[in-house]
């Protein structure tokens, strides 16, 4: 249906447009922390190899430490080095560059998924279709521009599937090297991905064991190459391990096992402690934030796999089972041990590459059923089914821009924000600040927000404009008496911005309360029927 040149041109143009639109997104809650972590890691690497003087590493950069589970800094290091290479000298350009790099790695996953699916199905269009399932997921699409951990982990798993398939098909020795390298980096990005190498080694073992020409020597050779490169990759791209690998790994896994977050998740209209989430938390979030046609095709593909399991060849059985368990294992483990989760299902974005495989299986099955019942030309039928499947997600990506991160499907209800978390990372604060700067021409404007979260988006505002903003520092705004509020560092604020993350913000929506400072609303950011940001003017 499409020739090779047309597909390459499509991928190239899509990548260029993505880089252009990457400038539209705000700064998520923890991106500043990640940028600082990149600086710390680069400083540590430079000092370890005695390059700190050559690279002009500042002395005031803190020592590298095991923080937040000790996750690696692959993406953050790339961004820090890129800032130096491109001589970035202000925060706005630094964050815009980060978003371009984030999208570049994410889009690499899109292309590798295409190669993987094309090789697996021996069909260029099915490869393209699978890559579109991967790329045109509105919520994950947005995260692909600024989420330097979850989306990068997702992209790395997507990139690893192609070389893993090559290993499975007995291709050249370079493939276990490449797959081990990528998988090691993925593990340093999201530690739970540790399950995947074990699953892959089991696949290789079963593959060789069930082969008509069982070659023990080749099986051992392939496995050893993969394991060696995997370990070397984890060690190389996880600098915190360099001084004491065993002790550091033990500390990291202990931190991860006993990680406790004192916050709550707004789920099904209630604030539930992160340590007490019900088993259906993850399945529900995946179901309400994935396009409904994708869900239908996923289950169609899953049922097709189960029905055809007996009559499939041993190779098909093994690899399809690998894809199924690649999706199921993390869900089962996390639900089984009751892991701490927050911010929807972003911690498990890396299972999505396995889901899109079954979506493609489902698409093929429906295509066969329609083709056998009605006489359609092949090209027209494929176009018709593709239009039905991708119409809604493409429309939402375009219409919600740049707020695709709060995409919900119709299963979430008419106004999902009354039951589920909305803009939990406060990216819409950028839109709020830019609206204020455009509509208030004063030289000095005082901004207030819960926990001062609006301040983090000042770094991506135009430098000539952001100088007009001052951010108050008191974190308990909602409980302040307006008569005593002038004790703030910069005096009485002019505007109050909220993304309704906190409990008192939810009360405004759920109960329509009107109390300080939730009065005199002058602007809001609407996404479908949801209000994800409001600006209130102080009187």
Predicted pLDDT at 53: 67
468 DSSP assignment: T
Predicted pLDDT at 479: 42
pLDDT profile of the chain (539 residues), mean per 10: 81 96 94 90 85 67 62 91 91 97 98 96 93 98 96 98 92 91 95 94 86 72 94 92 79 66 83 89 97 98 94 90 96 88 92 98 93 77 91 97 96 90 93 96 91 90 91 56 47 87 62 71 91 89
Decide if 86 contacts 97 (C-beta within 8 A): yes
Taking CA 481 as the corner, what is the angle to CA 480 and CA 487, rounded to the nearest 5 degrees? 80
Q: How far apart, in whole angstroms, are the C-alpha atoms of residue 474 and residue 449?
A: 9
Provide CB contacts within 8 A for 433, sequence distance 6+.
447, 454, 457, 458, 461, 469, 497
Count CB atoms within 10 A of the CB of residue 91: 17
Q: What is the torsional sign of CA 84, 85, 86, 87?
A: positive
What's CA 309's distance to the chain center, in Å?
32
Q: What is the torsional sign of CA 101, 55, 46, 226?
A: positive
Tokens of 373: 């019942």
Count CB atoms within 10 A of the CB of residue 150: 20
Predicted pLDDT at 487: 45
Exposed, middle or buried: residue 371 (CB in 10 Å: 0-12, 13-18, 19+)? middle
Q: Would you list the domain boundaries of the chain?
A: 4-393, 429-537
Q: How far apart, in whole angstroms, are the C-alpha atoms of residue 311 and residue 305?
A: 10
Cα Rg for the chain, rounded, in angstroms? 25
Predicted pLDDT at 255: 66
Q: How far apart, in whole angstroms, are the C-alpha atoms of residue 403 and residue 26?
A: 10
Count CB atoms within 10 A of the CB of residue 43: 21
Exposed, middle or buried: residue 374 (CB in 10 Å: 0-12, 13-18, 19+)? exposed
Closest-CA residue to 396 (of 530, 527, 532): 527
Q: How far apart, in whole angstroms, are the C-alpha atoms of residue 152 and residue 346?
A: 11
């Amino acid at each position: 249906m499409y020739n090779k040149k047309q597909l390459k041109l499509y991928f190239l143009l899509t990548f260029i447009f993505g880089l252009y639109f990457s400038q539209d997104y705000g700064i998520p809650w923890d991106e500043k922390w990640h940028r600082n972590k990149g600086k710390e890691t680069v400083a540590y690497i430079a000092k370890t190899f005695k390059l700190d003087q050559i690279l002009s590493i500042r002395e005031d950069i803190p020592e590298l430490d095991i923080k937040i589970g000790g996750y690696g800094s692959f993406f953050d290091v790339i961004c820090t080095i890129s800032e130096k290479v491109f001589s970035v000298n202000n925060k706005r350009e630094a964050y815009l560059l980060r978003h371009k790099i984030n999208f570049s790695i994410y889009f690499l996953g899109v292309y590798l998924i295409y190669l993987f699916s094309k090789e697996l199905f021996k069909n260029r269009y099915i490869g393209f279709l699978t890559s579109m399932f991967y790329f045109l997921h509105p919520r994950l699409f947005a995260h692909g521009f600024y989420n330097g951990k979850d989306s990068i982990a997702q992209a790395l798993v997507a990139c690893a599937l192609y070389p893993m398939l090559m290993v499975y098909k007995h291709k050249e020795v370079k493939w276990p090297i490449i797959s081990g390298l990528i998988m090691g980096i993925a593990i340093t990005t999201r530690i739970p991905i540790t399950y995947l190498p074990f699953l892959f080694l089991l696949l290789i073992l079963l593959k060789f064991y069930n082969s008509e020409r069982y070659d023990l020597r080749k099986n051992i050779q392939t496995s050893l190459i993969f394991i060696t490169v995997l370990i070397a990759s984890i060690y190389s791209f996880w600098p915190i391990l360099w001084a004491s690998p065993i002790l550091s790994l033990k500390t990291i896994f202990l931190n991860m096992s006993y990680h406790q977050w004192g916050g709550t998740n707004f789920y099904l209209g209630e604030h539930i402690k992160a340590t007490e989430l019900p088993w259906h938390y993850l399945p529900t979030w995946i179901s309400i934030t994935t396009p409904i046609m994708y869900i239908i095709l996923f289950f169609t593909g899953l049922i097709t796999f189960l029905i055809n399991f007996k009559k499939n060849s041993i190779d098909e059985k093994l690899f399809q089972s690998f894809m199924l368990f690649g999706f199921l294992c993390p869900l089962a483990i996390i639900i089984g041990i009751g892991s701490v989760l927050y911010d929807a299902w972003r911690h498990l974005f890396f299972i999505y590459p396995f889901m899109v495989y079954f979506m493609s299986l489902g698409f093929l099955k429906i295509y066969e059923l329609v083709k056998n019942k009605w006489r359609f030309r092949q090209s027209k039928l494929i176009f018709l089914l593709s239009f039905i499947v991708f119409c809604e997600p493409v429309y939402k990506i375009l219409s919600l821009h740049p707020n695709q991160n709060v995409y919900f499907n119709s299963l979430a209800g008419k106004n999902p924000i009354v039951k589920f978390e909305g803009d939990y990372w406060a990216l819409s604060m950028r839109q709020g600040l830019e609206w204020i700067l455009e509509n208030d021409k004063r030289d000095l404007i005082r901004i207030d927000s819960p926990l001062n979260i609006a301040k983090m988006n000042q770094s991506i505002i135009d430098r000539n404009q952001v100088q007009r903003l001052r951010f108050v520092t008191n974190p308990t705004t909602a409980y302040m008496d307006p008569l005593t509020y002038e004790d703030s560092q910069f005096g009485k604020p002019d505007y109050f911005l909220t993304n309704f993350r906190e409990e008192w913000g939810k009360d405004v929506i759920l109960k329509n309360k009107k109390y300080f400072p939730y009065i005199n609303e002058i602007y809001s950011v609407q996404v479908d029927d949801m209000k994800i940001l409001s600006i209130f003017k102080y009187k």
